[in-house]
Structure 1
Amino acid sequence: MAASNDEIEYEYPSVIRIYKNGHVERLRDTDFVPAGTDPQTGVSSKDVTNIVPGTEVYVRIYLPNLTNKYKKIPLVVYFHGGGFVVSTPASATYHNYLNLLAAETQVIAVSVHYRLAPENSIPIAYDDSWAALQWVISHSNGNGPDDWLNNYADFGRLFLSGDSAGANIAHNLAMRIGNSELGQNVNISGIALVHPYFWGSNIIGLEAVDPNTKLLQDRLWPTICPSNPDNDDPRNNPIAEGGPGLTGLGCKRVLVCVAEKDFLKHVGLVYFEALGRSGWKGAVELVETEGKGHAFHLYDLQCDKAKELMTRVAAFFNN
């Protein structure tokens, strides 16, 4: 007998519900906010489609209101969070945040929509994001298909950033860039990882995580990556024994941001410490926000702690 819609295979509360018959129910960030000019920040945005032909992969580009139209500004390629299973650049959560990010840090931002799991399992999110990055890089000589990137982006100050799963993507693309074959034409100044989603089977500190939360996280990677369901897959656990390590990270600077009450705080700290002692030749910084939880800044953009975090991110991009 075929499974009915009522039989649940996996549920992450308030995020996603996956049924045994393949039906997927997303529980947040399913809204769509059109691109345009934001009245609060003055930031202009537009969507560019057909990044990966035949798919729904697109980018939303954000251009701040510039006083000097002839000065090029840092370029940030941003990957949204959502556990690889929810959200898009057009959801209000990310559209509002990217408007503010572009305005406050004075960068041109490219927010990437990659295909979501479980319908599109790992490594599709990484491959889509890599293709979007390659599309962005195609503008580095000033002759790409998009005028905003040609005219305003300083490719000498190119950064990758993201929160949660998006930070995981930014890290993994930087590792891919560090591969001499794959990254030979890509030069990244730095990556800003905000509350990064990493996991693993035996990371010191995870024993403090609530057992139910840990169980949900233990099941997430096998759900989105059935081809390699091991939680110590190096894409999920960058410091896994036997993995490639961190010395090949293909950028000069890294900013790691964690939050005191985030269940992912410990893996973020372990990543920061491991990178610092790995032999990687770059500089790594740590920012910890007291009293806040995972991705708090996305949902309360104007709170003091969110403003402090934005200030640190702005300094990283503009240093």
Structure 2
Amino acid sequence: MEDSTNSTTITDKHQEIAHEIPNTIRVFTNGRVERLRGTDIVPPSLPPHSVVSSKDITLDSENNITARLFLPPERQGSRGHKLPILLYIHGGAFCVNSPFNAAYHNYLTALVSQANVVAISIKYRLAPEHPLPAAYEDSWVALQWLASHRKNNGPEPWLNEHADFQRVFLAGDSAGANIVHNIVMMAGHPDLDLSMDILGACLIHPYFWGSTSIGSEAVEPGQKELVDRLWPFICPSKPENDSPWINPMAEDAPSLAWLGCRRVLVCIAEKDVLKDRGRLYYDSLGRSGWTGVVEIEETQGKGHVFHIYDLECNDAKELIKSIAEFFNRDAPPSI
């Protein structure tokens, strides 16, 4: 049973904490789950309260896969002009956050306004109640649902009317970037027919890891210990930190040449313990034989997913601008 409340009940005072990720989640010995952040919910918004319109939709009622859809304002002279479509996957260690909390709602609103894209931000099932691969499975269902609109006959009119399915992008931060990599690998598999091409993928501060320290990981033992403990908690079926799901550069991982898109942007941050894994991913993808184009951008002086929680700082604005430019590169001129 999933419980997203922040208060500890009287019963819990007599229970021990079985597992804890600081400032993120606690699991008690009686099975109760206490999420310490990302549980707030803000409503979708429409003009005049927001320049970006948003609404909540259900993609799969059986598994309760829902999403928040974002539509930018119509630009002058752009009537009838189709927009890039973005499938966004939120972060939060696979166990907290949703598209409906204030931080992600505000971030997607800012990104959609800057990039002028139609975006769908999905809510996948969270660990530990739903350990991996649940998040991968839900995200793949969302991608298939999106592909059902390719010929303008899907269930969502905003996509049928406004989305350009020649310009499909996936993006995510932290755990969400990990999910993006894994489902884009699925999209490139010859036995899985998505029936839709993916133009690009943006991996922002991606959560990749491994059993052997690289770069700055070796000099940050406290953070390394925390990340080492996280993966077995959210993925007990494949608890090794060299599982291809968490370490796509592992020796026995599938070749990155299978990646099913044409462009990739990897964003890293100087003070993020995961930065060297992101840089290794960039290097490895470039050497893999994959025929696309990969880019990397590093934000100096900032930590992990800083932009989600400090949208007004100049570095966050610059990062959002770079991501928006990635989505709109080589876009056709406005009509």
Return the TM-score normalized by structure 1.
Answer: 0.96
Q: Residue 56 of structure 1 aligns with which residue?
A: 64
1:47 maps onto 2:56 in alignment: yes
* Identity of matched residues, %: 54
* Structure 2 segments unaligned to the other structure (5+ residues): 1-11, 330-335
Q: Residue 288 of structure 1 aligns with which residue?
A: 298
Contact 1:176–1:183, Cα closer than 8 Å, also in 2: no
1:149 maps onto 2:179 in alignment: no
Contact 2:270–2:301, Cα closer than 8 Å, also in 1: yes
Deviations 1:242-285 (A, max 9, x none): 11121100000000000000111111111111111111111000
1:88 maps onto 2:98 in alignment: yes
Describe how 1:134-283 pairs up with structure 2 within 5 A.
Answer: 134-283=144-293
Pick the aligned partner of 2:36 from 27, 32, 48: 27
- Give the whole-Å Cα distance in 2 for the aligned partners of 1:183 and 1:282: 20
For 1:152, give the aligned amino acid. Answer: H
Pick the aligned partner of 1:125 from 135, 155, 159: 135
- Give the whole-Å Cα distance in 2 for the aligned partners of 1:203 and 1:183: 37
For 1:269, give the aligned amino acid. Answer: R
For 1:33, give the aligned amino acid. Answer: V
Contact 2:52–2:73, Cα closer than 8 Å, also in 1: yes
The structural deviation recorded for 1:41 is 4.9
For 1:212, give the aligned amino acid. Answer: G
Contact 2:15–2:30, Cα closer than 8 Å, also in 1: no
The structural deviation recorded for 1:8 is 1.6
The structural deviation recorded for 1:86 is 0.1
Contact 2:69–2:121, Cα closer than 8 Å, also in 1: yes
The structural deviation recorded for 1:52 is 2.2
Pick the aligned partner of 1:14 from 19, 23, 28: 23
- Give the whole-Å Cα distance in 1 for the aligned partners of 2:230 and 2:105: 26
Q: What SS does structure 2 have at the residue aligned with 1:14?
A: coil
- Give the whole-Å Cα distance in 2 for the aligned partners of 1:258 and 1:182: 30
Q: What SS does structure 2 have at the residue aligned with 1:58?
A: strand
Deviations 1:96-116 (A, max 9, x none): 000111100000000000000
Q: Structure 1's 38 and 232: CA in aligned 2 closer, same or farther, altered over 3 A?
A: farther
- Once the two structures are overlaid, the 10-residue window that deviates more, 185-194 or 3-12, is 3-12
Deviations 1:143-197 (A, max 9, x none): 1111000000000000000000000011101100010111451310010011011
For 1:60, give the aligned amino acid. Answer: R
The structural deviation recorded for 1:37 is 1.8
The structural deviation recorded for 1:203 is 4.2
Contact 1:4–1:20, Cα closer than 8 Å, also in 2: no
Q: Structure 1's 195 and 209: CA in aligned 2 closer, same or farther, altered over 3 A?
A: farther
1:73 maps onto 2:83 in alignment: yes
Q: What SS does structure 2 have at the residue aligned with 1:109?
A: strand
* Structure 1 segments unaligned to the other structure (5+ residues): none
- Give the whole-Å Cα distance in 2 for the aligned partners of 1:236 and 1:270: 13
Return the TM-score normalized by structure 2.
Answer: 0.91
Contact 2:188–2:259, Cα closer than 8 Å, also in 1: yes
